[in-house]
Amino acid sequence: MTVTSPPSGSPVLRRPLARRLLATLAAGALALGVTLPSAAAWAASPEPSPSPSTVASALSAAPAANGILRPGDPLSVVVTVSAGSLSSPATPVALSIGSTSLGDDASLDRWLGGDSSGQTLQQVATGTVDATASGAQSSVTLSVPATDPALAGRGAGVYPVLVSAAGLTAPSVVVVPTDGPSTPIALVVPITAAPLTRGLLTGNELAELTAVDGALSAQLDAVDGTAATLAIDPAIPAAIRVLGSAAPPTAVAWLQRLLALPNDRFALQFGDADIAAQLQAGLSAPLGPTSLQSYMTGSDFTGPAPAVSAVSSPAPAPSASPGQPSFPTLETLLDIGSATSNVFWPATGSAGPETVAALGAQGTPEEPTRVLTASTSVAGGSRVAAASVAGVSTPVYDAEVSRVLAAAAGQNDATRRSASLAAAQGYLAVARSSAGDQPVLAVLDRGTDRSRVSLRATLGLLSTAPGFATSTLAEVSDRPASEISLVAPTVDPTRATEVGDLLADEQSVDRFATILDEPELLTGRERAEMLQVISVSWTGDPARQAVADHRAGTQTTLDSVGILSSDFRLVSSSAPLRPWVRNDLPWPVTVVLDVSPNDARLRVQDRTTVEAQAAANTRVEVPVEARIANGEVSVDLQLYSPTDQPVGTPQRVDVEVRAEWESIGLIVIVVLVVGFLGLGVVRTIARRRRTRAEDESTPALDADTPVDGIGVKGPDDDGRSPAESADETAPDEQEIRP
């Protein structure tokens, strides 16, 4: 594509007044909806207005060399048309440059926000962008030779640049650097993960974040080789170390690399918790984690754990006996390497005088407090980096420079990112001109949607910015401080109320946790999750939802131990009540079951200690003695911790006493036994009487009286008949006869 550069001094192409007015109004409207004005494009509103689903085309402009235009260099600007819902035809584009520089932040803001009032522009190049299909992009480079009179003789400063094309405009800037001594510039870069509702990152999340293309790896790639001061969330190394030997190898390697970096560093609050909200909620100092024991498994610490022993500055605690797990201390888990203590970084705009005073009390003469403060919080807008409030060191970072750096780091589109970097060069040039012999401090605010390329390009900008020399936060803080005053902070009162509610919930968990042999298993987890939920990165409706979800989870924990019971029927004067103790926690608990009848008709064992198993229901037997024959008695059941803290919801059961059933049963049994015995005696007597009566009714018999046809034998009878006897004696008689 051929790009022509009209002769120097050619007038800027003019549009009809109505079209210029519409373009200006559209630019102002779009400026309200973008984070970085310089990276955006402004479109005139078509007629009729598009439906909400219609996406308009956009125009962006990115000066070469990140907007640096040295004397004798040509001016090149990459122009990109991004087609919206409809395709874009071939579009003529024109490049113009202002004749006077933008001398302060306010004029820069107005220009990049679409307000061109007071600016005299000169057209210096034209070209044509090819037709672009819907959703696609087309680019063209507009160039102005160094010999063009419009570029010659320009003094140092920040000059406005405008690209226009068929109702679209894209403002940007170029910087003609100034000579002179280098100005120190320090940059603070956070090493954080996306906001969580859990206490720590899981192993799978760590494996993803520390992979070659992971977000945490991208952050280390960006800061490696720079002088940036690192603000590290200690929850990240803690999440790696609590896994012991089960930690992903990529996470262990990432932690080793982090600790090996030579960069100055300091620890953020655990989970990057909101400092100002905690103090506004009534705390005298920011909270920290108390224990991470619940996240560790004994089997992961029975041998050398690379996530702990190989990358920890503090040595892990030795094992009491061989084969037993050796858990690291909390200090070891949170270690981030050699770091500066008592450095605090509240959310931008949230640090007021009260916050600084409260944090100042946390310091010592050897390790004084340092509170990072935005220039927008300083009365009068002073940008003096080395400052103090009532004797407390408050390094002031340039809010405008920091804002455009964060916007550039979050841009994944190359043209828009270059436009943002050019805007950053403009704000840096203004900061240098107003700093005098003072350093400039900037921060790359928290963010999670940053690519490796965008981060590296943004951090590289500071190391190559003309007129600047890299420095560190420590060097800036050690300079003689200027006393400043702070304006009222912009802390969301709802946030402070939420923190107060979370603190009240935590106290309830502390009381509840006394049912455990190791209460820190529960209290440590609650504190870690609470700090994650109030992270600075949680904002707006997602923050409200995160708090609501956490509070609901806390209530579930408080309800995880309770009583399972129903009405009883007592059928004897002494028998046990047998309710269940429900324990949904993953640890065994010790509770005391208190039983209180509302009537003296029952005598019960009022206190029974119960060892409830983990994730199970445990049967309890409570001795009960009835004092009356029958009736209904209500009994109140309540669990308490060994320290007499109420646990769970109290219950009331009705006991139906039928103690006389036992006496009746005994009487019935006795009566039956006596009856059966009596019946047996009666039957025996009757039988004997009947036998005797039968004996008495039978007549007496003579000796010769036959019985049943058989005669009664005499004592000498042998049982034979008289005839037989005579026959046997007859021979004898014959023998004696003569």
**Could you report the per-residue pLDDT of 400-435, keeping only the tens digit for each?**
999 999 999 999 888 999 999 999 999 999 999 888
3-state DSSP call for residue 307? coil
Residue ranges of E strands in 439-564: 440-443, 468-471, 482-483, 561-564
Tell me: pLDDT of 93 over 50: yes
Tell me: pLDDT of 678 over 70: yes
Q: Cβ contacts of residue 464 below 8 Å, gap of 6+?
A: 66
Q: Cβ contacts of residue 573 below 8 Å, gap of 6+?
A: 625, 626, 659, 662
What pairing do the DSSP bridges indicate for beta strands 157-165 and 91-98? Answer: antiparallel
Q: Cβ contacts of residue 18 below 8 Å, gap of 6+?
A: none
Of 399, 459, 426, 431, nearest to 38 by C-alpha is 426
DSSP string, 328-349: PPHHHHT--SS-BSSEE-PPTT
Question: What token pair was written down for 70?
Answer: 């040295």
Q: Assess if CATH 2.60.40.1710 describes domain 561-662.
A: yes
Question: What token pair was written down for 221?
Answer: 């790639």
How confident is residue 30, by pLDDT bands cut at 50, 70 and 90?
very low
Give the pLDDT confidence score for residue 355 in this predicted structure: 94
In the chain, the amino acid numbered 441 is: L
Of 351, 363, 368, nearest to 280 by C-alpha is 351
Distance CA 252, CA 211 (A): 11
Give the pLDDT confidence score for residue 42 in this predicted structure: 37
3-state DSSP call for residue 637? strand
Give the pLDDT confidence score for residue 451 in this predicted structure: 86
3-state DSSP call for residue 535? strand
Tell me: pLDDT of 668 over 90: no
- Distances from the Cα of 564 to the Cα of 24, 552, 645, angstroms: 71, 22, 19
How confident is residue 314, by pLDDT bands cut at 50, 70 and 90?
low
Give the pLDDT confidence score for residue 662 in this predicted structure: 53
Q: Which residues of 534-553 are buried (b: 16+ CB within 10 A; e: fewer)?
A: bbbbbeeeebeebbeebbeb
pTM of the model: 0.80
How confident is residue 383, by pLDDT bands cut at 50, 70 and 90?
confident
Q: Cβ contacts of residue 625 below 8 Å, gap of 6+?
A: 573, 574, 602, 603, 604
Is 269:531 a contact under the CB 8 Å cutoff? yes
Q: Assess if CATH 3.20.110 describes domain 183-483.
A: yes
Is 136:83 a contact under the CB 8 Å cutoff? yes
Question: What token pair was written down for 64?
Answer: 């070469």
Q: Which residues pair with 387 in a beta bridge?
A: 482
Query: What backbone torsions phi and psi does residue 364 show, to the nearest 5 degrees?
Result: -130, 165
% of the chain with per-residue pLDDT over 70: 82
Q: Which of 8-12, 256-260, 555-559 has the lowest mean pLDDT?
A: 8-12
DSSP string, 591-602: EEEEEEESSTTE
Give the pLDDT confidence score for residue 676 in this predicted structure: 81
- Distances from the Cα of 464 to the Cα of 419, 421, 469, angstroms: 16, 12, 9
Of 210, 224, 229, 313, nearest to 267 by C-alpha is 229
Give the pLDDT confidence score for residue 260 in this predicted structure: 94
Give the pLDDT confidence score for residue 27 in this predicted structure: 37
Query: What backbone torsions phi and psi does residue 353 show, to the nearest 5 degrees?
Result: -60, -40
Q: What is the mean pLDDT of residues 557-569?
A: 87
The three-point CA angle 127-131-134 to 5° equals 135
Give the pLDDT confidence score for residue 328 in this predicted structure: 93
Question: What token pair was written down for 427?
Answer: 């704000």
User: How many CB atoms neighbour CB 118 within 10 A?
Assistant: 10
Residues of the chain with CATH 2.60.40.10: 17-176
Question: What token pair was written down for 149?
Answer: 């009179």
Give the pLDDT confidence score for residue 184 in this predicted structure: 95
How confident is residue 654, by pLDDT bands cut at 50, 70 and 90?
confident
Q: Is 693 exposed, middle or buried (0-12, 13-18, 19+ CB in 10 A)?
A: exposed
Q: Which residues of 188-197 are buried (b: 16+ CB within 10 A; e: fewer)?
A: bbbbbbebbe
Query: What backbone torsions phi and psi does residue 728 show, to the nearest 5 degrees?
Result: -70, -25
Q: Which residues of 276-311 are buried (b: 16+ CB within 10 A; e: fewer)?
A: bbbbbbeeeebbebbbbebbbeeebbbeebbbbbeb
How confident is residue 25, by pLDDT bands cut at 50, 70 and 90?
very low
Tell me: pLDDT of 52 over 60: no
Tell me: pLDDT of 732 over 80: no
How confident is residue 680, by pLDDT bands cut at 50, 70 and 90?
confident
Of 192, 204, 298, 293, nearest to 247 by C-alpha is 204
Q: What is the mean pLDDT of the chain?
A: 84
Distance CA 400, CA 381 (A): 11
Distance CA 299, CA 303 (A): 8
In the chain, the amino acid numbered 280 is: Q
Give the pLDDT confidence score for residue 311 in this predicted structure: 66
Most distant pair of Cα atoms in the chain: their distance: 208
Is 214:448 a contact under the CB 8 Å cutoff? no
How confident is residue 85, by pLDDT bands cut at 50, 70 and 90?
confident
Top mean pLDDT of 22-36, 468-482, 562-576 is at 468-482
pLDDT tens string 611-620: 999 999 999 9
Tell me: pLDDT of 459 over 60: yes
Give the pLDDT confidence score for residue 709 in this predicted structure: 47
Give the pLDDT confidence score for residue 619 in this predicted structure: 93
Q: Looking up tokens 């609650």, which residue turns up?
A: 526
Q: How many residues does the chain have?
A: 738
Q: At the top level of CATH, which class does the domain 17-176 belong to?
A: mainly beta
Tell me: pLDDT of 211 over 90: yes
Give the pLDDT confidence score for residue 638 in this predicted structure: 95
- Distances from the Cα of 380 to the Cα of 293, 357, 383, angstroms: 48, 20, 9
